Amino acid sequence: MPSEQTAFFLSRAPRALVPTLREHPGLESVLAGLMRTAREAWPEVGLEAEAFLGHVAERLPSTGEADGGLASLHAEDLALAFTCVRGSTRAIEALEARVLSQLEKWLPGEAPSQVDELRQLLRQRLLLPTGGAPPKLAFYSGRAPLAHWVRAVALRLLVDQRRAAPREQPVGEALPALVERLGADPELAFIRERHQEDFRVAFRAALGRLDVQERNLLRLHHVHGLSMDAMAATTRAPRSTVARWIARARERLLVLTREELTARLGLTPGELDSLLRLVRSQLDVSLRQLLVD
């Protein structure tokens, strides 16, 4: 029979993952290890086991392997983020010293005044609720190092600043340099860097929810390169009907991917829209990669 802590953990985990977690023979040991690692890293913050394990459970992906999701967690970083959101002064001091102090290194060439301003905006974004939503740091899942995650948030803030005040930027200097660092579309590059693995898992799960006919249509068209005319001859259906079938399958795939991403990630509406733009922009490539026989 699971302990009270383990039972609480299971009650907060994604419903689709609970059966697999229940069958995990070493779940109690894994959870105890997570707590031990977190408490050894931050002995001074008074980490509450049940609350922290509930926080961990809520941030597990709804699809994929339970073993991998738990084993790959950056428990120290997740504990730091969790205690910062709960208002621990010592945790916030540690965040400043270990993470936010790297801002100058992340933004070489930026004026010190610009870095200071951005650091203040970053503190607000990470630690303060906005528009009724929890602080940004509450959405950190522990699947990547905290410093990498915060760096992505900082770069996104810098892009937003550039877009909001383009006349203040010297022509041909700051914004093009930043765009070069982030890619042709900074917003999509930011999303790609931050959620590439989430997108892959969500997209694969959405493909699995299509019916056999939908998957076969997409495979024939996108992987094997059959034209609409060839598919019409193969299926003995009018070309216009085949085109509608494929369009409907693609659209259903996008809807299902959105559902998977919504369940998997705690994104703001704007971030979710940006990620879905990325899904659309990479749909053909992703289909070719994941539908190969």
SS3 77: helix
The pLDDT assigned to 146 comes to 92
Q: Is the model's pTM score more than 0.85? A: no
Contact 34, 75 (CB under 8 A): yes
pLDDT value at residue 192 = 55
Answer yes or no: are the C-beta atoms of 118 and 107 closer than 8 Å.
yes
Q: Give pLDDT, residue 156.
A: 80
Residue 78, token pair as written in the block: 């997740």
One digit per residue, pLDDT tens: the chain, 293 residues? 567 778 888 888 888 778 888 877 788 888 888 889 989 988 887 788 888 888 888 888 766 555 556 777 889 999 999 999 888 888 999 999 999 999 998 888 788 888 888 999 899 889 988 777 888 999 888 888 899 889 888 888 887 777 666 444 443 344 444 444 444 444 455 555 556 667 777 778 888 888 888 888 887 777 767 788 877 876 778 888 888 998 898 888 888 887 777 776 666 666 666 666 666 666 666 676 666 54
- Which pLDDT score, from 0 to 100, does residue 253 have? 85
Buried b (16+ CB within 10 A) or exposed e, 32-56: bebbebbbeebeebebebeebbbbb
Nearest CA-CA partner of 259 in 275, 282, 248: 275
Cα–Cα distance measured from residue 138 to residue 1, given in angstroms and rounded to the nearest whole number: 31
Tokens read off for 225: 């390169």
At 267 the pLDDT is 60
Angle (CA) 197 203 206, round 5°: 145
What is the residue type of 15?
R
